[in-house]
Chain A
Amino acid sequence: ETGVTQTPRHLVMGMTNKKSLKCEQHLGHNAMYWYKQSAKKPLELMFVYSLEERVENNSVPSRFSPECPNSSHLFLHLHTLQPEDSALYLCASSQWGQRSSYNEQFFGPGTRLTVL
């Protein structure tokens, strides 16, 4: 596989369920990201990991819990979600250089989440 992959592509869950989203990057990058994209809203950055350490947590509710076991894998654990959490969740990766962390981000296809 190439690029950034995400599973599952679609997920429907009840508010009491616990589920996890998985992201894998095959690009040899050292940084990974979770974004949320809701209808009619801009992409919202949720979490940033660099070299498996979380460097950004953008005021995300604790019902979203990220995990980065290594530089190729990123998880988003979900529990007791609300209907307003229904959205497209996108994972991305990039290569941070010595001078800049703003190199091109490559996105996965996303997981479309519906919370009932």
Chain B
Amino acid sequence: RKEVEQDPGPFNVPEGATVAFNCTYSNSASQSFFWYRQDCRKEPKLLMSVYSSGNEDGRFTAQLNRASQYISLLIRDSKLSDSATYLCVVGVGSNTGKLIFGQGTTLQVKP
């Protein structure tokens, strides 16, 4: 079983649509959770951290369910510029800064 599992997609949606990505992780000792965004042939960049109570940043909402070891990202009112690969990322175990990345989910927003 992969340590961080995501549906690779691609998700093809029209502008203005709402789209949700899911992610599961296997290590119950995981401490920190993030969504990173990676544009084609570019480096990953932090989109948002994910907190236990859930958090929102503009059109983006992240949720964490520790019991189910499940993380989600909701994007409302999709823009063309949201087209990218979204990486689910988990900080594991002891304080070593070790992040485990999912394979990523590709989003393509169409006009």
Q: Which residues in A have some Cβ–Cβ distance to B below 8 Å?
A: 31, 33, 40-45, 48, 50, 55-56, 58, 90, 94, 96, 100-102, 104-110
Q: Are A105 and B46 in contact (CB under 8 A)?
A: yes
Interface residues contributed by chain B, number (CB under 8 Å): 23
B57 close to A (CB within 8 Å): no
A55: chain B residues within 8 A (beta carbon): 96-97
How distant is the Cα of A78 from the Cα of B19 in the complex, in angstroms? Answer: 42
| B residues at A contact (CB < 8 Å) | 2, 4, 31-32, 34, 42-46, 49, 87, 91, 95-104
- Asked if residues B43 and A109 are in contact (CB atoms below 8 Å), the reply is yes
Q: Please indicate the chain B residues that have their CB under 8 angstroms from the CB of A101 in the complex.
A: 91, 95-97
Q: Is there an interface contact between B4 and A42, defined as CB atoms closer than 8 Å?
A: yes
Could you pull out 27 A-B pairs where Cβ atoms are within 8 angstroms?
Answer: A31-B97, A40-B103, A42-B103, A42-B104, A43-B87, A45-B98, A45-B99, A45-B100, A48-B96, A48-B97, A48-B98, A55-B96, A56-B98, A58-B98, A90-B44, A96-B95, A100-B32, A100-B95, A101-B96, A102-B31, A102-B32, A102-B91, A102-B99, A104-B34, A104-B46, A104-B49, A107-B45
6 cross-chain pairs, A with B, having the tightest CB-CB distances, nearest first? A102-B32, A107-B43, A102-B91, A101-B97, A43-B101, A42-B101
Say how far B4's CB is from chain A's closest CB, in angstroms: 7
Q: Whole-angstrom distance between the alpha carbons of A94 and B32 in the complex?
A: 14
Contacts across chains A and B counted by CB atoms under 8 Å: 59
Asked if residues B44 and A107 are in contact (CB atoms below 8 Å), the reply is yes
Shortest C-beta distance, A21 to chain B (Å), equals 14
A55–B95 Cα distance when bound, in Å, is 10
- A48–B101 Cα distance when bound, in Å, is 15
Q: Which residues of B contact A33 (CB under 8 A)?
A: 97
Cα distance A107–B104 in the bound complex, in angstroms: 16
CA of A106 to CA of B32 in the docked complex: distance in angstroms? 16
User: Are the C-beta atoms of B97 and A102 separated by less than 8 Å?
Assistant: yes
